Amino acid sequence: MIWNPTKECMSREQMRELQGKRLHKIVEYVYHNVPFYRNKLQEMDLSPADIRTIDDIVKLPFTTKKDLRDNYPFGLQAAPQSEIIRIHASSGTTGNPTIVGYTRKDISIWSECMARSLTSFGVTRNDIFSVSYGYGLFTGGLGAHNGVETIGASVVPASTGNTEKHARLIRDLGITGIACTPSYALYLAETMDKLGISKDQIKLRVGAFGAEPWTENMRTEIQNRLGLKGFNIYGLSEIMGPSVSYECEEQNGSHINEDHFFPEIIDPVTLEPLEPGQTGELVFTTLTKEGMPVIRYRTRDLCSLIPGECPCGRTNVRMSAIQGRTDDMLIIRGINVFPSQVESVVLTMEEFAPVYMLIVDRVNNLDTLMVQVELRPDYFNATLDTPAAISELEKRFADKLRSVLSISAKVQIKAPGTIERSEGKSKHVIDKRQLF
């Protein structure tokens, strides 16, 4: 099913024309309402009249997370405060959080995009749908919530926390759909195991998973354990929140809501645009946002765009899975390392639970990498009861890691449940080097 065929299945020419018109309008809007953008454009000798078609977008300056922080809290807001009906803030682990204000129209467009995503996952008004993203300043909870209500399914605002109660509700209410982070889905599966709730006692059939990178192996694992089909949903608060893009039944990339968010891929070093299919940094321009529009926002997410028709009938361009963040990328002894690479190895080994941590340090001016991973309870109890068996497993894991990462890592195999779990976005790196 397609929620809004007019907007999701437009011809490419129509889409580009619409994007061009909207781009001109948004540039004019920020030029007159946000001194930050006016100054930047004036410095470059540009005026809104120079931006006529979507191809003109490359003339515009980029906006970075630092620009958002420097203008904390409301410096980039374009609408008057009286028009703002909701304020979210993104995590802000380093420095000021990013504050994003939404007008009534922004919230309604967000709900529409969320409804497109959920419909694409097969959710209908007949579903009972649990939202287990955190409610609060984080955009996940309320964002998904509005989408479920827009479709008319019954929303259960479970949020995160109190997972045992949630697991029982999933069984007792016959909950059919869930939105949460992929790591929370696994945590939920563990909790159900602990409570003795089996797959055939529950009715979950659809999962909307996002807010953090995940792999195909992880998808298989979640699907097997919860008995549902898992779909990717992507978003970020600076642009809107969840549902900037979403998978369809083909599950070959996520369709971008291009009539609202215009994507580009650039080389993160030269800042030059890259060809379709090439991997680089994803950049978004909001084409319709009123509260806090952003022009060419550098997301720091690495992925590629997949052009061409999709058998599902949607014509909106797709983005590949996120392959890392420019700022999550670890440089260890000069080699780029992404936590997702470690995850892909962990998931190929049946002895391990999908719970791991990278610990990076610097000893005598040399970077060191240690990877901790947890054993599955059944292996811990039965098979691996001798030191020789453990060291054989360690060696096998270390060898596999070296071939994927191109550097060697120390490995440490931990007992089940000993690596800290997170209910929101999972944390996979402890960097003790203090390089900055």
Pick from 19, 183, 299, 341 the residue near ligand ADP by CB under 6 A.
Answer: 299
Question: Which residues share a beta bridge with 273?
Answer: 266
Site residues for ligand ADP, 388-407, by CB under 6 A, read none
Q: Is the distance from CB of 93 to CB of 422 less than 8 angstroms? A: no
Strands 261-266 and 280-286: antiparallel
φ, ψ (nearest 5 deg) of residue 50: -80, -10
Torsional sign, CA 311, 313, 317, 323: negative
Which candidate, 211, 17, 13, 244, places its Cα nearest to that of 114?
A: 244
What region does 92 belong to: left with phi over 0, alpha with psi -120 to 50, or beta? left
Residue 237 binds: one of ligand ADP, Zn ion, none (C-beta under 5 to 8 A by kind): ligand ADP
Rule CB under 6 A: say whether 292 interacts with ligand ADP: no
Least separation in angstroms between CB 9 and Zn ion? 10
Least separation in angstroms between CB 83 and ligand ADP? 22
Least separation in angstroms between CB 311 and Zn ion? 7
Rule CB under 6 A: say whether 234 interacts with ligand ADP: yes
Least separation in angstroms between CB 65 and ligand ADP? 7
Least separation in angstroms between CB 353 and ligand ADP? 21
Tally Cβ neighbours within 10 Å of residue 344.
16
Q: Is 16 exposed, middle or buried (0-12, 13-18, 19+ CB in 10 A)?
A: middle
User: Could you give the C-alpha distances from 254 to 35, 48, 120, 143, 210, in angstroms and in order?
Assistant: 34, 31, 10, 18, 11
Rule CB under 6 A: say whether 325 interacts with ligand ADP: yes
Pick from 236, 310, 373, 393 the residue near ligand ADP by CB under 6 A.
Answer: 236
For Zn ion, the closer of residues 232 and 426 by Cβ is: 232
Rule CB under 6 A: say whether 345 interacts with ligand ADP: no
Tally Cβ neighbours within 10 Å of residue 57.
19
Across 348-376, b (16+ Cβ under 10 Å) vs e yields: eeebbbbbbbbbbeeeeeebbbebbbbbb
Pick from 237, 243, 286, 304 the residue near ligand ADP by CB under 6 A.
Answer: 237
Least separation in angstroms between CB 428 and ligand ADP? 13
Pick from 42, 47, 53, 91 the residue near ligand ADP by CB under 6 A.
Answer: 91
Least separation in angstroms between CB 344 and ligand ADP? 14
For ligand ADP, the closer of residues 132 and 139 by Cβ is: 139
Least separation in angstroms between CB 191 and ligand ADP? 22
For ligand ADP, the closer of residues 213 and 354 by Cβ is: 213
Rg (CA), the chain: 23
Site string for ligand ADP, 194-213 (x = CB under 6 A): ----------------xxxx
Rule CB under 6 A: say whether 294 interacts with ligand ADP: no
Residues in the chain: 436
Least separation in angstroms between CB 278 and Zn ion? 21
Residue 261 binds: one of ligand ADP, Zn ion, none (C-beta under 5 to 8 A by kind): none
Q: Is the distance from CB of 124 to CB of 1 less than 8 angstroms? A: yes
For Zn ion, the closer of residues 120 and 341 by Cβ is: 120
Kind and range of the H or E run holding 65 = helix 65-70
Rule CB under 6 A: say whether 148 interacts with ligand ADP: no
Determine the size of the site formed for ligand ADP (CB under 6 A).
17
Interface with ligand ADP by CB under 6 A: which residues? Answer: 90-91, 139, 210-213, 232-237, 299, 301, 322, 325
